[in-house]
């Protein structure tokens, strides 16, 4: 049995020709939204990646097969499965494959597959991070460690403010992960642009971001970078997030279920306002990731990915 990823023809060809490819995760599709909005976010992201001149590679595991470059029907399947799809981080891939299961990959899981496929650009809404109350629960997303050990640029709007964002920024520093602010000096708080901890550097052009990535890979060949883009139209929902985190804790929810549960509560408490921002973020980050991937390809430094 082989656990190798199956690439779509389009993605395989693009990678072979050194053309820009952007990976997209699917946990947000299955677990991140209610009512089919995860599917809309996924399809819009793909569209934006293409519009910016790159090839989207949506990643997931279908019936035990790791797939890179999902077709629409497969993305629809993951969306329809919802919570029935496994939430797959890097540690969960092996069991999901061997057991023939269907799984939606987190940022960390998607990055692990990017390393296998040779893709070096990924977009999402917000990465996982250090959870509030981590000293008691030790709940720290595996996304952070996977970013630290994967040669890739992860474009996001920071870590969700459902997390302890200053602690998340500290851990990223500990892990030597550059946190590049996209035209901002601070790490965005997902729904809101301001109030976060400082970025480690500011970049203002896709080519600059690509150049910093290349220079970083000369220093840390197998390490990742975060490129953090603030929301275009942020909203202030800090109080409500605190309330959502409290409710989830009181309900006794732990482990992998925490992030989806908090997201669902935030969606409810904000009367859906968080969802509109979330969808816009994901699509905007996909577009930016594509621009950076295009700039990388234009710099002609060759394949960026680990398999290249
Ligand atoms: N942020 C969102 N929606 C999501 C996630 C993050 O706005 O659905 C998902 C991502 O896939 C991320 C994962 O990788 O949550 C992190 O989960 P955990 O905290 O359990 O590591
Ligand atoms: Mn966790």
Q: Which sign does the torsion angle of CA 265, 28, 121, 56 carry?
A: negative
Per-residue burial over 97-107, b if 16 or more Cβ lie within 10 Å, else e, is beeebbbbbbb
Alpha-carbon dihedral angle through residues 281, 290, 180, 205, given to the nearest 10 degrees = -110
**Mind giving me the DSSP string for 267-290?**
HHHTTTHHHHHHHHHHHHHHHHHH
**Can you list the positions of beta strands (E) in 44-136?**
55-62, 65-68, 86-88, 103-105, 121-123
Residue 113 backbone zone (phi > 0: left; psi -120 to 50: alpha; other: beta): alpha
- Find the radius of gyration of the CA atoms of the chain: 18
The ligand minimizing its distance to the Cα of 89 is 1
pLDDT at site 233: 83
Q: How far apart are CA 34 and CA 37, in angstroms?
A: 6
pLDDT of res. 305: 62
Residue 127, strand partner residues: 159
Task: Indicate which atom in ligand 1 lies nearest the CA of residue 281.
Answer: 7
Q: Of 225, 241, 143, 238, which Cα lies nearest the Cα of 177?
A: 225
Ligand 1 pocket, mutate which of 106, 154, 267 (most atoms under 8 A from CB): 106
By annotation, the residues acting in catalysis are: 25, 160
Between β-strands 65-68 and 55-62, what pairing exists: parallel, antiparallel or unpaired? antiparallel
DSSP codes joined into one string, 148-179: HTS--EEEESBB-TTB-HHHHHHHHHHTT--E
Between CA 149 and CA 263 the distance in angstroms is 27
Alpha helices in 52-98 (DSSP H): 72-81, 93-98
Mean per-residue pLDDT pooled into runs of 10, the chain (308 residues): 84 97 98 90 98 98 98 98 96 98 98 98 96 94 98 93 91 98 94 90 98 98 97 85 92 93 91 90 97 95 61
Distance CA 50, CA 192 (A): 27
3-state class (DSSP) for residue 60: strand
- Protein residues with CB under 6 Å of any ligand 1 atom: 25, 27-28, 31-32, 106-108, 125-126, 128, 141-143, 160, 256, 259, 263, 278
Per-residue pLDDT at 253: 95
pLDDT given at position 307: 45
- Ligand 1 atom at shortest distance from the alpha carbon of 282: 7
Determine the Cα–Cα distance for residues 90 and 112; give it in Å rounded to an integer.
6
Report angle CA 173, 126, 165 to the nearest 5 degrees. 45
Give the separation between CA 51 and CA 53, rounded to whole angstroms.
5
Residue ranges and CATH numbers for the domains of the chain are 6-298 (3.40.1790.10)
- What is the Å distance from ligand 2's center to 143 Cα? 9
Give the SS3 label for residue 22: strand
């Amino acid at each position: 049995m082989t656990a190798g990823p199956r690439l779509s023809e389009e993605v395989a060809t693009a990678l072979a020709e050194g053309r820009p490819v952007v990976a997209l995760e699917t946990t947000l599709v299955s677990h991140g939204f209610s009512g089919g909005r995860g599917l809309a976010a996924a399809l819009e992201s793909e569209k934006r990646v293409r519009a910016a001149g790159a090839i989207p590679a949506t990643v997931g595991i279908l019936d035990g097969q790791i797939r890179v470059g999902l077709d629409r029907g497969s993305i629809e399947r993951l969306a329809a499965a919802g919570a029935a799809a496994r939430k797959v981080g890097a540690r969960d891939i092996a069991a999901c494959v061997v057991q023939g299961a269907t799984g939606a990959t987190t940022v960390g899981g998607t990055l692990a597959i990017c390393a296998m496929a040779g893709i070096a650009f990924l977009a999402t809404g917000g990465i996982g991070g250090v959870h509030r109350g981590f000293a008691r629960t030790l709940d720290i997303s595996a996304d952070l460690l996977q970013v630290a050990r994967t040669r890739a640029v992860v474009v996001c709007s920071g870590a969700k403010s459902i997390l302890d964002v200053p602690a998340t920024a500290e851990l990223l520093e500990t892990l030597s992960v550059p946190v590049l602010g996209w035209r901002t000096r601070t790490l965005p708080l997902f729904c809101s642009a301001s109030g976060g901890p400082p970025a480690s550097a500011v970049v203002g052009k896709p080519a600059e971001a690509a150049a910093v990535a290349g220079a970083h890979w000369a220093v840390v060949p197998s390490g990742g970078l975060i490129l953090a883009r603030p929301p275009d139209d942020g909203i202030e929902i800090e109080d409500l997030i605190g309330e959502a985190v409290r409710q989830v804790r009181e309900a006794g929810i732990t482990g992998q279920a925490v992030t989806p549960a908090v997201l669902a509560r935030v969606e409810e408490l904000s009367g859906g306002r968080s969802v509109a921002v979330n969808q816009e973020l994901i699509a905007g980050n996909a577009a930016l990731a594509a621009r950076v991937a295009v700039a990388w390809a234009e710099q002609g430094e060759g394949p960026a990915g680990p398999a290249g």
